[in-house]
Amino acid sequence: MAQAGNNTKIIMKRSVGEWLLSPLSGVYGLLTDVRNWLYDNDLLATQQPNVQSVSVGNLTVGGTGKTPMVEFLIKRSLTAGEFRAGALATLSRGYGRKTTGFRVATASDTADTIGDEPLQLYRKFTSSVRVCVGERRVEAVKSLLERHPETKRVLLDDAFQHRPLAPHVSILLMDYNRPFYEDLPFPGGRLRERRKGARRADVLVVTKCPLTLSLTEQTQIANRIRPYTRPETPLFFAGLAYDAPVSFATGQSVTNLRAVVLVSGLANATPLEQYVRQHYHLVRHDRFADHHPYTRPTLEKLVNDLPADTALLTTEKDWVKLDALLMPAERATWPLYYLPVAMQFLAGQEQAFLAVMDGEWLKNR
């Protein structure tokens, strides 16, 4: 009963906060409306790249599964045999990096130089995909093509609001747990622009769904989304599929983890925590802010605070930053593991999604 009472108080505080901030949300929404109107009416310049481009983005501040979607598109392109090494590239602004300008990832880069998510992509696909960062996307694509004219397709991570660049295909993601149709623009809510911005999407994917989501609920969600999209916009549902934990030391999957301390730096770690709680004995969850810049003292404290016979389990995004802080002997002996995650479309939807994407890619070659 006490827990229920606390939850009620939290909800009430949020509601009051949203009500107090709603006038500012209206002002922010109006400003984004004006900005979008200027681009839509060609009063501010937009450019479409001279290479096939696919944007993956959202309306909401925080994680909606953009990186798993980018990885899905990479794997699809590579599996289909469409590209030789170097012909496929990714581009993001490199959130959290301490550098500026255009960069192509190399073996010497870190999360400080290119950002944690680009580093994650580089470490997974280094031999097959060129990973790039650049806050000015139009200039970044031009620089990429000048240096690497063999590039045939660019996957643009988190570019939905980057209006100077007009992608050939725009994929909009919506977190099942945080639907944009129930949200407000910043600061009263988490929207980067008003809900009607969804009309720019060519494809919409509801992410982080329960993999058992019923057709009835899918229809209900679709009906709530449809007032904000174009009538012809394809709509799909996907969840996250976690694989077996991988050892920092060996890079190999393991099946013997039981008790774990979960460490995460995510915008919304609740789905991850729920999964870990269901499959392991979760001792505690140390939550950090999204894109948290881990330090050596933080890592040492995390390891020193581990109870006996307990492993530290983290995400791929956090792994690339924590691993960089380790000495070789520590990596070999400390009980550190990360949990791979991938986009998984709900039953019967992956092939339909790929058919839509194949059609868009062919149309824009």
CATH number of the domain that 61 lies in?
3.40.50.300
Tokens for 88, please give them. 């496929």
Residue 172 and residue 261 share a domain: no
What pLDDT, in 10s, does the model give residues 180-235? 999 999 889 999 999 999 999 999 999 999 999 999 999 999 999 999 999 999 99
Amino acid type, 279: H
Domain assignment present for 29: no
Residue 248 and residue 228 share a domain: no
56-65 mean pLDDT: 90
pLDDT of residue 51: 93
Q: Would you say residue 9 has pLDDT above 80?
A: no
The residue that leads in pLDDT, 276 or 81, is 276
Domain assignment present for 329: yes
HEC secondary structure over 278-338: HHCEEEEEEEECCCCCCCHHHHHHHHHCCCCCCEEEEEHHHHHHHHCCCCHHHHHHCCEEE
Q: Could you identify the residue written with the tokens 């999204």?
A: 290
Tokens for 31, please give them. 């400003």
Residue 212 and residue 253 share a domain: no
pLDDT of residue 267: 86
Nearest to 313 by CA among 338, 280, 281: 338
Tokens for 257, please give them. 């983890």
Distance CA 196, CA 29 (A): 10
| Structural domain count of the chain | 2
Tokens for 208, please give them. 């982080």
Query: Do the Cβ atoms of 159 and 206 come closer than 8 Å?
Result: no
Provide the percentage of residues in the chain whose pLDDT is more than 70. 92
- Please give the angle made by the CA atoms of 305, 293 and 21, to the nearest 5 degrees: 105
17-31 mean pLDDT: 82
The pTM (predicted TM-score) of the whole model is: 0.90
Residue 332 and residue 262 share a domain: yes
Q: Would you say residue 98 has pLDDT above 70?
A: yes
Name the DSSP letter for residue 346: P
* Type and span of the H or E element at 236: strand 235-242
Distance CA 322, CA 320 (A): 6
What pLDDT, in 10s, does the model give residues 296-346? 999 999 999 999 999 999 999 999 999 999 999 999 999 999 999 999 999
Domain assignment present for 11: no
Q: Would you say residue 1 has pLDDT above 70?
A: no
Q: Would you say residue 103 has pLDDT above 60?
A: yes
What pLDDT, in 10s, does the model give residues 228-268? 999 999 999 999 999 999 999 999 999 999 999 999 999 88
* Phi (first) and psi of residue 246, to 5 degrees: -115, 135
Domain assignment present for 60: yes
Residue 325 and residue 184 share a domain: no
Residue 296 and residue 188 share a domain: no
Q: Band the pLDDT of 15: cuts 50, 70, 90.
A: low
Residue 271 and residue 220 share a domain: no
Terminal CA-CA length for the chain: 60
**Pairing relationship of beta strands 88-92 and 130-133 according to DSSP bridges:** parallel
Residue 250 and residue 185 share a domain: no
Distance CA 84, CA 267 (A): 34
Residue 252 and residue 199 share a domain: no
Residue 323 and residue 258 share a domain: yes
Residue 329 and residue 267 share a domain: yes
Q: Would you say residue 280 has pLDDT above 90?
A: yes
Distance CA 203, CA 232 (A): 9
Domain with 305, as residue range(s), is 244-339
35-58 mean pLDDT: 96
What pLDDT, in 10s, does the model give residues 348-362? 999 999 999 988 765
Residue 305 and residue 208 share a domain: no
Domain assignment present for 38: no
Domain assignment present for 128: no
Distance CA 222, CA 214 (A): 12
pLDDT of residue 82: 64
CATH number for position 287: 3.40.50.10700
pLDDT of residue 4: 44
Rg (CA), the chain: 21
Domain assignment present for 309: yes
Q: Angle 350-363/66-79 helices, nearest 10 degrees?
A: 70
